Amino acid sequence: MNPSLSRLLIAAATALGLAGCAATPMTSATNTADRTFGPIRQSIHRGADDLLTAGLGIDGLRAMTPPAVENPASPSPEELRRRAIWSNWRGIADLRPGGGAGDSLPSVPGREFAALARLDGARQPHRVLLQLPDAFDPAHPCLVVAPASGSRGVYGAIAVAGPWALPRGCAVAYTDKGAGTDYFDLDAGLGVRLDGTVGRVEAGEELAFAPDAEVSLEPRGIAFKHAHSMDNPEADWGRHVRQAVRYGLEVLAGQFPGHRMDAGHVRVIAVGISNGGGAVLRAAEVEDGLIDAVVAGEPNVYARAEGARSLYDYATLAAVLMPCALLAIEDWPQPPSPDALRAAGAARCKSYADNDMLPRGDLDVQAREALATLKRYGFDDHALRSGAISTGFDLWRAVAATYASAYGRHAPGEHPCGFSWAPLGPAGAPRAASAEERALWWSDGSGIPPGNGIALIDPGRADEDPDLPGIGCLNMLWRDHVASERVSAGVEETRASPPRAGLPVIVVHGRDDGLIPLAFSSRPYVEMARAAGREVPLWIVPDAQHFDAFLAFPDYGRRFVPLLPKVHAALDAVMVHLDDPRVPLPGEAPH
């Protein structure tokens, strides 16, 4: 084995030892901290279109192919919006007949108000969007703020907040929280406009993301906001949520001038899942009464508490060891290519055994030792078994590569482990993107490539265990590397504190979550909150893992239940409590 790979493995060994539209200006926009909004693009959605499903209904969302566009190289804003809503519903919800999303979704007419917002001190803007249903009652105003899950675009929480809020007349304020799908083509110098179409940086037109760093790679590939904004957006997810609330209130005030639309008169509930769940918990920390209640589902949250671990910490360890450890686990959920995953696991065990970090010879013994190491680190049996999902879909590596760049505030082309992102040609070499590919990144992307024709490019791939050099480098950034201080500092900026006193908060988490394990995130957060005197219920949902959308795979659908219905039940519970504070928040999820 080459010497550089050996050094990476030695660093990782530390872990083994540890165990219809118009743009109108925002007349009330200000330039104070947390309150900078650009021009608003307003659109009307009625008749064959609507706010909740863009007119697709449940049957259209279940369709296996996305809504068509007339000109693939230049889709209209309306076509892009419809595809974005289709894509985000399918990426988040359990759309099976009889599944978590139900068998019907109402058509909700109304208007949308989209803008770019910028936090004080941020290099790049984030998207905010208010959906205002026609049934909104200004005499009894309700605003739900919903940050996107994962690194998704501004519609990335539509399946979380939309079906609960919009039919009951609540407005919904969304934010991509400084991540999203505004990919920038570094070769062509093209990014994404407010309306989702492709544009170039020009006077008077701000793109949603436009990196200003020079890139020496050829071809240069693509940059995306979560990895390359140089803002470490996760550190400010709470501020993004709060700015989205203020944006929503300002839009409502402009639309209903005869009514008071401020935090004292509008009921504001924050809800999010995954990264969005962590974002609403960060927003809950501030003592100003802007938000009335919070529901956090499966939150990626790094509490100031014993047992808490950051996503980067456990994701990089899982990326290194879990392929080997899974060989010691029986009956794990079947990924798309189980035989390939087993072969990769055997290669990973051998790599560690060859460097005397696992016993030589017996593969079963090696796998059991790798599994024992993960258990000593805090992974329980539920998280380990469901970890096969994240391992089989190569999520650990994709997440870690993005987050290493984000935490270190690295510019495009400066990844500390050499990763980059670009389309690939027939021979597997990076190439420039086509106009047709570029046109659909905003609508179809998830916010973290690979996907939608974009590959994660690892320059250090080896022959026997191809992903290990890159994964080993990512792991070393957390544990022992000259660049680790930048990553560690970025992670520390994401630490969560308890919610403000008296704020109703419910945390919902799947017991079988293998991507954001309960033991590293929600449990230590709730323990921290309770130690500070906050009564925060923790609803642990048996047989729920992290991805409701994955229940479409037959094996997953047989094993697991969706989490989103419990998140919506938690929203019901906080609404009842806000109506009558004498009714306590339930200590567990309804059956």
Rounded Cα gap, residues 266 and 272, in angstroms: 19
Rounded Cα gap, residues 271 and 161, in angstroms: 7
Angle between helices 311-325 and 363-377 (to 10 degrees): 160
Residues contacting 356, CB < 8 A, separation 6+: none
Question: For the CA atoms of the chain, what is the radius of gyration?
Answer: 23
Is 274 among the catalytic positions?
yes
Residues contacting 60, CB < 8 A, separation 6+: 53, 67, 86
308 sits in the region (left: phi over 0; alpha: psi -120 to 50; else beta) called beta
Rounded Cα gap, residues 217 and 155, in angstroms: 32
Which phi and psi angles does 541 have, rounded to 5°? Answer: -105, 110
Rounded Cα gap, residues 382 and 387, in angstroms: 8
Sign of the torsion formed by the C-alpha atoms of 260, 263, 269 and 273: positive
| Closest C-alpha to 157, from 274, 301, 292 | 274
How far is residue 103 CA from its own chain's centroid? 26
DSSP state of 546: S
DSSP state of 186: T
**Catalytic choice (149, 229, 274, 443):** 274
Rounded Cα gap, residues 350 and 571, in angstroms: 48
Helix (H, G, I), strand (E, B) or coil at 508: strand
**What's the token pair of residue 514?**
């293998």
DSSP bridge partners of 305: none
Question: Which residues are known catalytic residues?
Answer: 274
